[in-house]
């Protein structure tokens, strides 16, 4: 997402000019002073894929080389802002898994794309992801420069320790059900061997009998080396398709609008209205929201839902295989999802049939409190521009005045006659709090599962059902809702109403993971 510089201390191997993955120069038997938790100092250059990520001159996390231009680490090690440093390897792109949750620690994986490919030599080389089943009691090695005791100082020399993989059910007993299928535990039930502070994101390397492969990344735990508190790791074999997708796309990640030169005017994200009064910003009357034609392909997650060649709703690409759309659009199996299109009269970059539609359970209320459906594509969207999924926000992310929010769609708009109904158009919108929206709409129409915005986002104003509400911060766009209904006349009094995705994140994750 951001251009950053991170110093990476790298180790590796080539043989007769051909780089070998997962090969150590040697595996010494010599015991050296105890390090990590219950481990020892590693022999120099014996883990050639190990890297150190340093922020503000201090080592912060580990990582592993998986390709000349790619380093893999934990998502919690990849913040949006990184400091420049010395001994530099420049990072051109940081791609964090779109499903990463700071609360549950799921999908704790990120990729760093290097601006200049690494040259494999005697000290620098890659490791492949372990794709076979990880068996309980299997012994693997974890490496890093973290503390050698809980709350102790970090060390300057690379440490290693052998840990045993533990059964998932046993680990869940220790952690009271917090261990998800995309995680695993390693250590010993009685404690004494573990990664510790500063080892996060570092590799857990497992020997196949011929070479080492990357089984996991240090993710989280309670303390260091405690009894019944083994280390918890990201299971990388479950993330291998995502890793391949990101690398094949050149590192284009979710939420990146690729045409920054063609942008919008700004309105604050939050706009509070008094009941019965026109919405206003700083005392001035709000105009129709600045509906304009979008720059071609500048909103790469926007898709057109079509039946027999006719557009009937917008949808939003949230994953290469999944689109989120309103339930009331009644999308059917066999309808077409058209991706990478700006003008509906011309050829799109990809058209994919709908494989299956998954709908939220309805409570019978009107207007519906839940108006969302997940659409599975019959084949994945091709990677790269102009087809990039939007990001889904973490459960604890809330919109405030520091965000810029936009809605986009096709169709005949009632706000500007010179905007073609065939071309994608856009409007910057501000949020209206629910209390003010309820006082304006009345009748108990606004539910807690709704988001409300400036009227320009309503279907009669924008001309489209299913238009997404995306809000941007630090150059990344997150999906917060899909338009559901609004004023029939496109007046400037009644806010547009969106179905919020905040309360359906678990449903989205469960549906897309289980199918």
Contacts of residue 204, defined as CB under 8 A and 6 or more positions apart, other chains included, come to: 140, 141, 142, 163, 186, 214, 215, 216, 217, 218, 233
φ, ψ of residue 25 to 5 degrees: the values are -60, -35
Domain-located, residue 274: no
Contacts of residue 311, defined as CB under 8 A and 6 or more positions apart, other chains included, come to: 304, 305, 338, 344, 410, 411
The answer on 285 and 242 residing in a single domain is no
Domain-located, residue 331: yes
By percentage, how much of the chain surpasses pLDDT 90? Answer: 24
Q: Is 164 a catalytic residue?
A: no
What's the pLDDT at 205? 93
- The secondary structure of residue 44, as a DSSP letter, is T
- CATH number of the domain at 311, please: 2.40.10.10
Distance CA 48, CA 373 (A): 46
Q: 4, 52, 76, 425: which is the annotated catalytic residue?
A: 76
Asked if residue 343 lies in contact with residue 422, where contact means CB atoms within 8 angstroms, the answer is yes
The answer on 230 and 90 residing in a single domain is yes
**How many domains does one find in the chain?**
2
Weakest-pLDDT range from 27-31, 116-120, 220-224, 433-437 = 27-31
Contacts of residue 133, defined as CB under 8 A and 6 or more positions apart, other chains included, come to: none
Neighbours of 132 (CB within 10 A): 11
Burial 473-484 (b: 16+ CB within 10 A, else e): beebbbbbbbbb
Contacts of residue 251, defined as CB under 8 A and 6 or more positions apart, other chains included, come to: 92, 93, 95, 111, 113
Q: 108, 194, 199, 464: which is the annotated catalytic residue?
A: 108
The answer on 111 and 66 residing in a single domain is yes
Enclosing domain of residue 172:
4-26+35-248
The answer on 436 and 323 residing in a single domain is yes
Residue range 298-312, pLDDT digits in tens:
899 999 999 999 999
pLDDT bin (cut points 50, 70, 90) of residue 156 is low
Average pLDDT of the residues in 247-276: 51
What's the pLDDT at 119? 84
Classify 168 as helix, strand or coil: helix
Average pLDDT of the residues in 66-91: 70
The answer on 114 and 21 residing in a single domain is yes
Residue range 387-437, pLDDT digits in tens:
888 988 877 677 776 677 899 988 766 655 667 788 898 888 888 888 888
pLDDT bin (cut points 50, 70, 90) of residue 318 is very high
Asked if residue 419 lies in contact with residue 445, where contact means CB atoms within 8 angstroms, the answer is no
Distance CA 73, CA 276 (A): 52
The answer on 303 and 217 residing in a single domain is no
The answer on 219 and 332 residing in a single domain is no
Distance CA 424, CA 297 (A): 9
Distance CA 254, CA 73 (A): 18
Domain-located, residue 317: yes
pLDDT bin (cut points 50, 70, 90) of residue 16 is very low
Distance CA 202, CA 231 (A): 12
Average pLDDT of the residues in 185-204: 71
442: left (phi over 0), alpha (psi -120 to 50) or beta: left
Asked if residue 147 lies in contact with residue 196, where contact means CB atoms within 8 angstroms, the answer is yes
CA distances from 505 to 99, 320, 323, 514 (A): 10, 17, 14, 14
Average pLDDT of the residues in 26-54: 61
Contacts of residue 144, defined as CB under 8 A and 6 or more positions apart, other chains included, come to: 36, 50, 62, 158, 159, 195, 198, 199, 202, 218
Asked if residue 15 lies in contact with residue 56, where contact means CB atoms within 8 angstroms, the answer is no
Average pLDDT of the residues in 456-478: 77
β pairing state of 110-114 and 128-129:
unpaired
Pick from 204, 231, 248: which residue ends a domain?
Answer: 248
The answer on 304 and 214 residing in a single domain is no
Of residues 460 and 77, the one with the higher pLDDT is 77
Average pLDDT of the residues in 249-255: 68
Domain-located, residue 215: yes
Asked if residue 229 lies in contact with residue 73, where contact means CB atoms within 8 angstroms, the answer is no
Pick from 231, 248, 265: which residue ends a domain?
Answer: 248
Asked if residue 384 lies in contact with residue 390, where contact means CB atoms within 8 angstroms, the answer is no
Question: What is the residue-averaged pLDDT of the chain?
Answer: 76
Q: Is 400 a catalytic residue?
A: no
The answer on 296 and 152 residing in a single domain is no
- The secondary structure of residue 342, as a DSSP letter, is S
Per-residue pLDDT at 112 exceeds 70: yes
Domain-located, residue 324: yes
Classify 200 as helix, strand or coil: coil
pLDDT bin (cut points 50, 70, 90) of residue 216 is very high
The answer on 289 and 216 residing in a single domain is no
Q: Is 200 a catalytic residue?
A: yes
Q: 12, 101, 141, 200: which is the annotated catalytic residue?
A: 200
Weakest-pLDDT range from 10-24, 32-46, 72-86, 87-101 = 10-24
Distance CA 113, CA 335 (A): 37
pLDDT bin (cut points 50, 70, 90) of residue 27 is very low
Weakest-pLDDT range from 38-42, 140-144, 235-239, 393-397 = 38-42
- Which of 384, 493, 497 is closest to 449 using CA atoms? 497
Pick from 200, 229, 248: which residue ends a domain?
Answer: 248
Per-residue pLDDT at 324 exceeds 50: yes
What's the pLDDT at 267? 42
Domain-located, residue 232: yes
Element counts in the chain: helices (H) and strands (E): 5, 32
Domain-located, residue 256: no
Per-residue pLDDT at 363 exceeds 90: no
């Amino acid at each position: 997402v951001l251009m950053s510089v991170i110093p990476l201390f790298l180790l590796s191997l080539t043989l007769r000019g051909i780089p070998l993955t997962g090969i150590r120069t040697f595996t010494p038997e010599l015991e050296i002073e105890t390090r990590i938790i219950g481990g020892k100092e590693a022999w120099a250059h014996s883990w050639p894929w190990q890297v150190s990520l340093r922020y503000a001159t201090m080592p912060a996390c580990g990582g592993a080389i998986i390709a000349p231009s790619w380093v893999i680490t934990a998502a919690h090690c990849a913040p949006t802002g990184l400091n420049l440093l010395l001994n530099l390897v420049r990072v051109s792109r940081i791609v964090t898994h779109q499903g990463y949750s700071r609360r549950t620690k799921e999908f704790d994986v990120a990729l760093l794309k290097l601006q200049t490919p690494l040259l494999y030599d005697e000290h620098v080389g890659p490791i492949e992801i372990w794709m076979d089943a990880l068996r309980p009691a299997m012994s693997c090695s974890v490496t890093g420069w973290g503390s050698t005791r809980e709350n102790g100082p970090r060390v300057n020399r690379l440490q290693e320790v052998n840990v045993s993989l533990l059964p998932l059910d046993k680990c869940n007993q220790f952690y009271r059900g917090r261990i998800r299928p995309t995680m695993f535990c390693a250590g010993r039930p009685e404690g004494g061997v573990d990664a510790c502070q500063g080892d996060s994101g570092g590799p857990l390397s497992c020997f196949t009998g011929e070479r080492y492969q990357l089984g996991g990344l240090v993710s989280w735990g309670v303390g260091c080396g405690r009894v019944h508190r083994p280390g918890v790791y990201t299971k990388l074999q479950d993330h291998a398709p995502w890793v391949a997708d990101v690398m094949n796309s050149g590192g284009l990640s979710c939420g990146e609008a690729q045409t920054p030169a063609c942008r919008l005017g700004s309105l604050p994200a939050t706009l509070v209205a008094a009941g019965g009064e026109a919405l206003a910003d700083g005392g001035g009357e709000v105009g129709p929201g600045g509906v304009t034609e979008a720059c071609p392909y500048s909103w790469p997650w926007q898709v057109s839902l079509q039946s027999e060649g006719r557009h009937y709703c917008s949808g939003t690409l949230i994953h290469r295989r999944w689109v989120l759309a309103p339930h009331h659009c009644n999308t059917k199996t066999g309808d077409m999802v058209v991706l990478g299109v700006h003008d509906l009269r011309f050829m799109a970059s990809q058209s994919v049939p709908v494989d299956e539609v998954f709908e939220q359970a309805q409570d019978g209320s009107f207007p519906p409190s839940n108006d969302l459906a997940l659409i599975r594509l019959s084949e994945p969207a091709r990677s790269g521009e102009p087809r990039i999924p939007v990001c889904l926000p973490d459960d604890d992310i809330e919109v405030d005045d520091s965000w810029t929010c936009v809605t986009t769609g096709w169709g005949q708009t009632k706000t500007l006659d010179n905007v073609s109904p065939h071309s994608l158009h856009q409007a910057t919108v501000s949020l209206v709090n629910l209390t003010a929206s309820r006082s304006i709409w009345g009748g108990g129409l606004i539910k807690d599962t709704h988001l409300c915005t400036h009227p320009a986002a309503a279907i009669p104003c924008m001309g489209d059902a299913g238009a997404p509400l995306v809000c941007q911060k630090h150059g990344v766009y997150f999906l917060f809702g899909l338009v559901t209904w609004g004023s029939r006349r496109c007046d400037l009094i009644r806010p547009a109403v969106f179905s919020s995705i905040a309360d359906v994140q678990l449903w989205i994750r469960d549906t897309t993971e289980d199918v």
